[in-house]
Structure 1
Amino acid sequence: MIRSREIVQEIEEIRQRGRYSTTRSELSTRLFDIERAFQRHDQSQKELTKYFPVAIIACIEVYFRMAIKDMVDSGEPFLDRAQSLPSGLKLDLSILKAVHGKVITIGEFIAHGIKISRLDHIERAITALLGVGFLTAIGTTTNRWASEIRGKPLAPILSNPDEVFNDVSRTFELRHIICHEIASAYEIDHEEVERCFRNCVTFLRAANELISETIHPGAPLTQTAMNIAAGESLMEAKRLLYKACENVRSRLNQGELLAFDESQEKWQSYCDAWALFVAGERSMGGTIWPVIYAGVAHATIDRRLEEVGKWKRLSDPA
């Protein structure tokens, strides 16, 4: 049996292996790389062809864990609905301490214990959180970018939902055969793999559109709009931190005030340096760099805001 401390460590390690702070960015980057590799690979290399069902199912499983995490961590009504999710993990004191200490989130813990090895597993979990049938909802999901930015008529992303769902289920089967059987007599059908791969990619994009719109309805679509929104959110976080710091400063004597201001100045240098480190070189980050930088800085400010907000003198009454 996996111990609670090992579960917490697993969740932390999974988070550390991600590059971006948002599910949408992680999915978009990974899908772009896999699609490009699929387009370039030699169809005669049948052993290499086996890689793609495995890779795309890995994307599906990881994406839906991240989506469950995002929905639960966004609060109600998803947090309440999460009680009905079947989980293989038990909540104990070690987990409670990790959540309380913000080592992991409630969403990460719940998502980590959900079984996602078939389409019906995904359907049950996401239906429970959405409060409506997931496969029905995804079948009518439209692409806001295509209609609002490119001016195309509104149309469902999945033109043939039943075919897509069948191919997603089939890809899970192919992944199982490839990963868990030698299957030396099994011949890979490249046409089937290609069709399943394409429909899995479409399925993921439709699911991401549905879930993103459910959590953040009407969110900015263009990179410029996202950059502006991220910058505005960061400015608001800075304003709240400034207000919290002023509240602390009003309660300090002269000696304490100098020490606090010095600590805040050093913290600000750390915040800037950490955000730059995670976001990487501006010239290499492309148009998404401001969103990544702002997201990291915002998270760091949130932690500092909690520290400052809870500060008390040791001599203060409890």
Structure 2
Amino acid sequence: MARSDVDQILARKERWGTNRAAMELSSAVERLEREWLAIRRQAAAFTDFIPMRLVTLIEVFVREVIREIVDYGPPYLDRAEKLAKGARIDFIFASNLQGRKLSIGDLVAHSIPVNSPTNIIAAFEGLIPDFTASLKLAHPRWSEEVDTWPQPPVIQDFDLTLATLTKLFEVRHILTHEFPQERPYESNEIVGFLAAARELLSAIDWVIVDKLKGSVPQTQIMMNIQAGNSLIDLEAQMKGLLQAVSDKQDVSSELLETSQIAWLEYADREADLHASLVEGGSMHSMVWASAKSDLVRHRIDELQWWINREEGDL
């Protein structure tokens, strides 16, 4: 991967912000749809902007979601190698990876073509083998509504939506790279473009929720409960690793215990610090649990190093 490629990825990440949620892009499509429907008669001269903006939102959304999936870890990280087979990880990229400026997910996300619905679906299929089938059935997966599943799919007519998106990408290409005498679309198609883009992003979003989390909470109470349960699971994993490290003959169990006591004190105080940003609010317990969960994950990595340590590793 050449330096110019790395610089472009870094520049995009700086303009975009640090790993903002892909849901923000889905909301941007919905907002664009509302605004267009409100002013379309007065703004007819600017109709060409809509297809160009829509495809940009879709492309950025797809790359952000691909990054999220790959960085989630196995089995998606294992499958990502095929998607990035044309990209060479060299010293320049590795140095940025080491400095945490970039991730493997960034590399994969910026190595795939996203210039057509077919390419987009193929990229997701490379990571999630049953992606197309899941996309056709995708529906909101709120934790509070599990008893009502399965719900009607977000994409009601998959073939029609795919055909509309294909036309949208073709129109964007013409508008961006040519100057046709006549518009390559009818004005009344804009509403369909907006609806198809909204459906695609929403459906992809729910597929990823299904694969990575199963469901997501809709209310703050449920968010708090889910964050707490996630922390409990992580702490149980950490406890098991601690015992495994303690059982190793070349590790001082006494020093390990002293280290863990100090770490627990640090982790609790660091979580207190983060939660103080919403002191007294309904989000307090969720922020506290989320902050400590991040620290526990890092501690798990540290303990895993001790378990996998080979002679001579210091």
TM-score between the two structures when normalised by the length of structure 2: 0.71
For residues 76-155 of structure 1, the aligned pairs below 5 Å read 76-86=74-84, 89-132=87-130, 134-145=131-142, 148=145, 151=148, 154-155=151-152
Q: Quote the residue 1:314 is aligned against.
A: none
Q: Please state how far the C-alpha of 1:230 moved relative to its aligned partner.
A: 2.4
Q: Could you tell which deviates more after superposition, 163-172 or 265-274?
A: 265-274
Inter-partner Cα distance in structure 2 for 1:103 and 1:306? 19
Q: Quote the residue 1:13 is aligned against.
A: 14
Candidates 164, 167, 182, aligned match of 2:164: 167
For residues 143-202 of structure 1, what are the alpha-carbon distances to aligned partners after superposition, in whole Å with 9 as ceiling and x for unaligned? 444993694873333221110000011111122222223335327522101112101211
Unpaired segments ≥5 residues, structure 1: 312-316
Q: Percent identity?
A: 24
Matched residue SS, 2:57: helix
Matched residue SS, 1:220: coil
Matched residue SS, 1:47: helix
Q: Please state how far the C-alpha of 1:210 moved relative to its aligned partner.
A: 1.7
Inter-partner Cα distance in structure 1 for 2:174 and 2:283? 38
Q: Please state how far the C-alpha of 1:18 moved relative to its aligned partner.
A: 5.4
Q: Could you tell which deviates more after superposition, 223-232 or 193-202?
A: 223-232
Matched residue SS, 1:79: helix
| Superposition RMSD in Å | 4.3
For residues 37-90 of structure 1, what are the alpha-carbon distances to aligned partners after superposition, in whole Å with 9 as ceiling and x for unaligned? 233223341233222222222221122212222222222222222122155532
Read off the aligned partner of 1:76 and give its amino acid letter.
Answer: P
Number of residue pairs the alignment of both structures matches: 296
Matched residue SS, 1:183: coil
TM-score between the two structures when normalised by the length of structure 1: 0.71
- Asked if the contact 1:69–1:111 (Cα under 8 Å) also holds between the matched residues in 2, the reply is yes
Inter-partner Cα distance in structure 2 for 1:161 and 1:183? 30
From the superposition, tell whether residues 275 and 297 of structure 1 become closer, same or farther in structure 2 (CA, over 3 Å): farther
Read off the aligned partner of 1:192 and give its amino acid letter.
Answer: E
Q: Quote the residue 1:195 is aligned against.
A: 192
Q: Please state how far the C-alpha of 1:234 moved relative to its aligned partner.
A: 5.1
Inter-partner Cα distance in structure 1 for 2:82 and 2:111? 13
Q: Please state how far the C-alpha of 1:93 moved relative to its aligned partner.
A: 1.9
From the superposition, tell whether residues 169 and 289 of structure 1 become closer, same or farther in structure 2 (CA, over 3 Å): farther
Q: Quote the residue 1:75 is aligned against.
A: 73
Q: Quote the residue 2:212 is aligned against.
A: 215
Q: Please state how far the C-alpha of 1:125 moved relative to its aligned partner.
A: 0.9
For residues 216-246 of structure 1, what are the alpha-carbon distances to aligned partners after superposition, in whole Å with 9 as ceiling and x for unaligned? 2x323423323421244357768999999xx
